[in-house]
Amino acid sequence: MRTPRRFRPEFKRQVVEELLSGISSPAQIVRRHEISSGLLYHWKKQYAKGVFENPPDQTAALEERVRQLEQLVGKLTLENEFLKKAVQRSLAPVQKNGSSLPKTGTFSKASKGVPTHEPTPQQLLL
């Protein structure tokens, strides 16, 4: 069984820089170095991230940052909408009643025939 080949970072960087320069087509590079096209494009992604000790491509870094910020905006938007709904639900009973105090029965004067705590004029004379 054959052992997998190991490529040095300098070789990978050289191959990717050749691809990016446009001197050779991807098919020519793949044939010349006997590597797969998938491996070539994998190295290209690694090169853009700065894995081969080269300064990372600034546009790739900025695109990654934009992606992260878009995810954060989406998350914060969802949280914001959730909190708005929660506040609306918590304020809804207050707006209906006009007060946060619980409703109590209305108090009225006692009806006729029911004794009250106030003394009647006849009781005052006695």
pLDDT for 25? 93
Ranges under pLDDT 50 in the chain: none
Q: What are the tens digits of pLDDT across the range 102-119?
A: 566 555 555 555 555 666
What DSSP letter does each residue of the chain carry, written as one string? -PPPP---HHHHHHHHHHHHHTSS-HHHHHHHHT--HHHHHHHHHHHHHTTTSSPPPHHHHHHHHHHHHHHHHHHHHHHHHHHHHHHHHHHHHHHHHSSSSPP-PPP-PPPTTS--SSPPHHHHH-
